[in-house]
Amino acid sequence: MEISLRAQSMPESPIRKLAKYADEAKLAGIHVYHLNIGQPDIKTPPQALDAVKNFSTEILEYSPSQGLKSLRTKMVSYYANYGIDLSPDEIIITAGGSEAIMFAYMSCLNPGDEIIVTDPSYANYMAFAISAGAVVKSVKTDIKNGFKLPPVEEFEKQITPKTRAILICNPNNPTGYLYTKQEMRQIRDLVKKYDLYLISDEVYREFIYTKSPYISACHLEGIEENVVLVDSVSKRYSECGIRIGALITKNKAVRESKSICKRCMTSIWADVISSLTSSTRFPVSLRRHRQVLSM
């Protein structure tokens, strides 16, 4: 029996393609540095591990679709540290950033709609787009200029009547590039001019190794209703396995879309480790890691 056309059209994960070479090298006694997976090389903070160890309940019950309010309230103060003004209602807790990307696609894009993504990009943007029936159009960035944002004309060349969204990853995976204020304004102007969604994946917010300011899509004035922020605790607290992320938007219609509402079932862990998503920006170990790398 054949598998679905959708499954057949999924590109092979580039990470998997490389994994076998890494395994062979390891067997040959070579030390392999895994740059292929976003697993931070820092320890998970002890508070999070303690919260998991000390978790006790009599019933592992469903949590609310939008995520527990206690967690969303703590996240509001975390974002306030970055000058991002939110209310708990504007945050939806998801199963990692991955589910937030999927929900963003499902709520903002119709099958056949196009989304512009800078290339190279996080490989799963493409796979999730195929699941959502959307089409990815790439705008190439170049190592020769440090992967800075291509000029507006390069984006405009890709814009068609089917274009519904631009997706940026800031700071970028895999290039590490942090968009400047001027570049973020360029994106804002495009989004405004063509009335597009701006899906902004900012899961690497704490991994900035220069003194340049971090400009979130949520800082951009005039496109508040267009912005959908993707976030996750995976990287900043080195908690990839806990599967807690968030989809954040001021756009009520997106938040309340049926693609999200009834499907979202966050894990019990979301509240267990919610103590971590307080006003603390990131764990001490990560702060030290950042100092070492920025020297």
Ligand X SMILES: Cc1ncc(COP(=O)(O)O)c(C=O)c1O
Interface ranges with ligand X (CB under 6 A): 38, 96-98, 122, 169, 173, 201, 203, 232, 234, 240, 245
Residue 111: asked if its preceding bond is cis (omega within 30°), the reply is no
- Residue 204 CB, shortest distance to ligand X, in Å, is 6
- Residue 28 CB, shortest distance to ligand X, in Å, is 27
Query: For residues 173 and 274, which CB has a smaller minimum distance to ligand X in the complex?
Result: 173
Neighbours of 224 (CB within 10 A): 13
Give how far the C-alpha of residue 225 lies from the chain's centroid of Cα atoms, to the nearest Å.
Answer: 18
- Residue 217 CB, shortest distance to ligand X, in Å, is 14
Query: For residues 38 and 45, which CB has a smaller minimum distance to ligand X in the complex?
Result: 38
Closest CB to ligand X belongs to which residue?
96
- Residues 242-266: b if buried by 16+ CB within 10 A, e if exposed: bbbbbbbbbbeebbeeebbeeebeb
- Residue 240 CB, shortest distance to ligand X, in Å, is 5
Query: For residues 68 and 199, which CB has a smaller minimum distance to ligand X in the complex?
Result: 199
Determine the length of the chain. Answer: 295
- Residue 87 CB, shortest distance to ligand X, in Å, is 23
Helix (H, G, I), strand (E, B) or coil at 27: helix
Query: For residues 128 and 155, which CB has a smaller minimum distance to ligand X in the complex?
Result: 128
Is residue 95 a contact partner of residue 243, using CB atoms and an 8 Å limit?
A: yes
Query: For residues 163 and 232, which CB has a smaller minimum distance to ligand X in the complex?
Result: 232
